């Protein structure tokens, strides 16, 4: 067996030009298959990990998936705000254990800014009911402090005490900075592998204050410099304290119930609430609805990738079959030094297997290299936090399947070569 493998490898090496092309074709098809499958599984795990322990997400009237995406994954935008009255009504409800307000719409160098309060750090859970942990510093204590996610800190090189400004809007750059209200970084969160890592957290009051002069849709020049922190005389600062800007509304809020039994009733009551059109969704249900939609595309991609692999294998089959005629002499020589027809059969099977194996190894390596290179792009564009642990068990399964399929396909040329070598013996009749 072992000498046969060496023989097959050396025979391939002799035809390395066409063999390399075949390997390349298989590698590309396997790369596609592995890429599609890794992203599919990674996306699921990333989404499932992001929110945990929250019973309801409440926002303005929209679709459940839309609400889930913009409130938790920071994908897309809210239709409109939720009034503070509704938020407080739910917060005060006897069956409600906790609420977390979320106010979105601003950014810091492409990272979303989220207005919230201390309850976020106390009650928000991700993964397997893991709480947020501060890697350094503390939660914000006043309107001039911000807590940043792990990726914001590492990517932009921020440390505790650094000053940042926030931009109006959610683009990568903005031409409307809230420059009059700088924030001091008071805390940096531990990495979570969720959109939290890419978020700048400030207090709700801070969101209200930075938008105080924006009621006309752009910053007003008249009322701009009159904040207490601008160093005005103490008297006007005092007046400012009294006329504290009121928050118009929040983007969404998360609800934790005292008991799971009342989740459905609370959801129903919120969805039917007459005073304000609201949408309340159970995160698990919304995620499942998302899978059901995305699942169709998933499956389509998987089927396409499988067919590309099949095309790659057929390409391999073609190249082996066309080489058979030219290699009759090779077979005859092998026979003359004592190879049996069965050896020729095995040789051809091994050849197919080796080609596929090389292609699979190359394809898997390429897929994982490409994925590792695009992780941050996937995270920023699609909110997908892929675990880049390299090839796993599932890759082995895929590799095994492709190589087996290749060996199976190799049966055809192997059988032909076997028959030829029986007929030809040591002489070649052409």
Partner 1 sequence: MKQALVRLVPAALLAFGLALQAGAAALQIDWIELVPADQRATFDPAPPPPVHDYLTGESGGLAAQQPLDFSVNMDLEGQEIRIPGFVVPLELDEEGNVTEFFLVPYFGACIHVPPPPPNQMLYVRMKQGIKLDSMYSAYWITGKLSAKTRATRLGAAAYTLAGIAYEEYKF
Positions touching partner 1 (CB under 8 A) are 44-45, 47-49, 52-53, 55, 89-90, 93-95, 127-128, 258-274, 282, 284-285, 287-289, 291-292
Rounded to the nearest whole angstrom, what is the least distance from the CB of residue 281 to partner 1 in the complex? 9
Rounded to the nearest whole angstrom, what is the least distance from the CB of residue 266 to partner 1 in the complex? 7
And the tokens for 396?
Answer: 């082995």
Q: Are 120 and 202 in contact (CB under 8 A)?
A: no
Which of residues 282 and 379 has its CB atom nearest to partner 1 in the complex? Answer: 282
Q: Are 107 and 171 in contact (CB under 8 A)?
A: yes
Rounded to the nearest whole angstrom, what is the least distance from the CB of residue 9 to partner 1 in the complex? 40
Rounded to the nearest whole angstrom, what is the least distance from the CB of residue 292 to partner 1 in the complex? 6
Which of residues 138 and 292 has its CB atom nearest to partner 1 in the complex? Answer: 292
Which of residues 90 and 346 has its CB atom nearest to partner 1 in the complex? Answer: 90
What angle is formed at CA 401 by the lines to CA 397 and CA 407, rounded to 5 degrees?
Answer: 145
Going through 21-124 in order, the beta strands assigned E by DSSP cover 56-60, 82-83, 96-108, 111-116
And the tokens for 154?
Answer: 């590492």
Which of residues 165 and 262 has its CB atom nearest to partner 1 in the complex? Answer: 262
Rounded to the nearest whole angstrom, what is the least distance from the CB of residue 91 to partner 1 in the complex? 12
159-196 exposure pattern, b = at least 16 Cβ within 10 A, e = fewer: eeeeebebbbebeeebeebbebbebebbbbbeebbbbb
Which of residues 93 and 184 has its CB atom nearest to partner 1 in the complex? Answer: 93
Q: Are 303 and 33 in contact (CB under 8 A)?
A: no
φ/ψ (deg, to 5) at 290: -60, -45
Closest Cα to residue 270, out of 93, 81, 120, 100?
Answer: 93
And the tokens for 248?
Answer: 């118009």
Rounded to the nearest whole angstrom, what is the least distance from the CB of residue 285 to partner 1 in the complex? 6
Rounded to the nearest whole angstrom, what is the least distance from the CB of residue 87 to partner 1 in the complex? 12
Q: Which helix (H) or strand (E) holds 145?
A: strand 145-148
What angle is formed at CA 25 by the lines to CA 20 and CA 30, rounded to 5 degrees?
Answer: 120
Token match 């752009």: residue?
Answer: 218
Rounded to the nearest whole angstrom, what is the least distance from the CB of residue 275 to partner 1 in the complex? 8
H runs (alpha helix) in 337-392: 341-382
Which of residues 56 and 202 has its CB atom nearest to partner 1 in the complex? Answer: 56
Which of residues 26 and 266 has its CB atom nearest to partner 1 in the complex? Answer: 266
Which of residues 2 and 260 has its CB atom nearest to partner 1 in the complex? Answer: 260
């Amino acid at each position: 067996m072992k000498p046969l493998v060496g023989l097959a490898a050396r025979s391939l090496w002799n035809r390395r030009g066409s063999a390399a092309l075949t390997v390349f074709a298989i590698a590309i098809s396997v790369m596609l298959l592995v890429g599609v499958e890794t992203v599919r599984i990674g996306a699921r795990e990333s989404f499932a990990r992001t929110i945990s322990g929250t019973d309801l997400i409440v926002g303005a009237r929209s679709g459940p998936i839309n609400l889930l995406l913009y409130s938790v994954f920071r994908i897309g935008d809210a239709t409109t705000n939720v009034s503070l009255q509704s938020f407080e009504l739910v917060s005060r409800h006897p069956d409600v254990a906790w609420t977390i307000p979320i106010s979105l719409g601003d950014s810091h160098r492409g990272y979303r800014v989220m207005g919230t309060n201390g309850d976020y750090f106390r009650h928000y859970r991700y993964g397997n009911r893991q709480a947020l942990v501060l890697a350094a510093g503390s939660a914000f204590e006043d309107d001039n402090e911000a807590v940043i996610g792990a990726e914001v800190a590492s990517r932009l090189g921020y440390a505790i005490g650094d000053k940042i400004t926030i931009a109006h809007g959610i683009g990568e750059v903005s031409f409307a900075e809230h420059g009059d209200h700088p924030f001091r970084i008071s805390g940096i969160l531990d990495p979570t592998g969720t959109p939290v890592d890419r978020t700048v957290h400030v207090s709700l009051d801070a969101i209200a204050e930075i938008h105080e002069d924006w009621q006309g849709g752009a910053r007003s020049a008249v009322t701009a410099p009159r904040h207490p922190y601008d160093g005005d005389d103490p008297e006007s600062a005092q007046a400012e304290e009294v006329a504290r800007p009121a928050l118009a509304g929040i983007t969404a809020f998360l609800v934790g119930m005292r008991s799971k039994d009342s989740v459905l009733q609370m959801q129903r009551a919120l969805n039917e609430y007459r005073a304000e059109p609201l949408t309340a969704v159970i995160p698990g249900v919304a995620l499942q609805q998302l899978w059901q939609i995305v699942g169709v595309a998933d499956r389509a991609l998987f089927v396409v990738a499988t067919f590309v692999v099949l095309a790659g294998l057929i390409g391999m089959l073609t190249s082996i079959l066309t080489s058979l005629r030219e290699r009759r002499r090779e077979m005859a020589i092998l026979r003359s030094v004592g190879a049996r027809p069965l050896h020729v059969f095995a040789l051809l099977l091994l050849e197919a297997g080796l080609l596929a194996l090389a292609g699979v190894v190359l394809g898997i390596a390429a897929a994982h290299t490409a994925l590792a290179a695009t992780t941050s792009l996937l995270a920023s564009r699609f909110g997908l936090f892929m675990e880049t642990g390299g090839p796993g068990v599932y890759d082995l399964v895929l590799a095994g399947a492709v190589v087996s399929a290749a060996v199976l396909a190799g049966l055809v040329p192997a059988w032909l070569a076997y028959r030829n070598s029986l007929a030809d013996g040591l002489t070649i009749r052409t």
